[in-house]
Amino acid sequence: MTRIEATPAELRFHMYRLGSRRRVGRLYGVRKDTICALLPVSDIDRFMTGQMINIGGILAKRCARCGTARELEAYWTDDDRASGCGARCKLCRRLKR
């Protein structure tokens, strides 16, 4: 594995700034697999991308519109999504935000 002169916090900063591990790999001149090994996917990464996570025993996800973490019951069902529910919460859909 190629040695990278960066802390995990710096790698995570660049991952959020650039948007993907592939782009961070380009920044440091290494393959995406190297970055993935150094920076595994965390619950915060999943939450930021709108995926379902477990928060204190409650299944929740982040609304794509308002950015608030809400329980899965606050979303309409959508069988096409991996989580089984839509990206926007019921409140945002009702208010058409």
Render pLDDT for 19-43 as a digit per residue (tens, 0 to 9). Answer: 889 999 999 999 999 999 999 988 8
Euclidean distance between CA atoms 20 and 51, whole angstroms: 16
* Domain annotation covers residue 82: yes
Both 36 and 49 in one domain: the answer is: no
Q: Where is 85: in which H helix or E strand?
A: strand 85-89
Both 25 and 63 in one domain: the answer is: no
Nearest to 3 by CA among 27, 24, 34, 26: 34
* Domain annotation covers residue 1: no
Give pLDDT, residue 2.
Answer: 62
Number of domains in the chain: 2
* Domain annotation covers residue 28: yes
* Residue 81 lies in domain: 45-95
Stretch 47-70: mean pLDDT? 89
Q: Which residue stretches of the chain are H helix?
A: 8-18, 21-28, 32-38, 43-48, 90-95
Classify residue 88 by its DSSP letter. E
Give pLDDT, residue 10.
Answer: 94
* Domain annotation covers residue 2: no
Give pLDDT, residue 96.
Answer: 74
* 1 pLDDT more than 70: no
Both 36 and 54 in one domain: the answer is: no
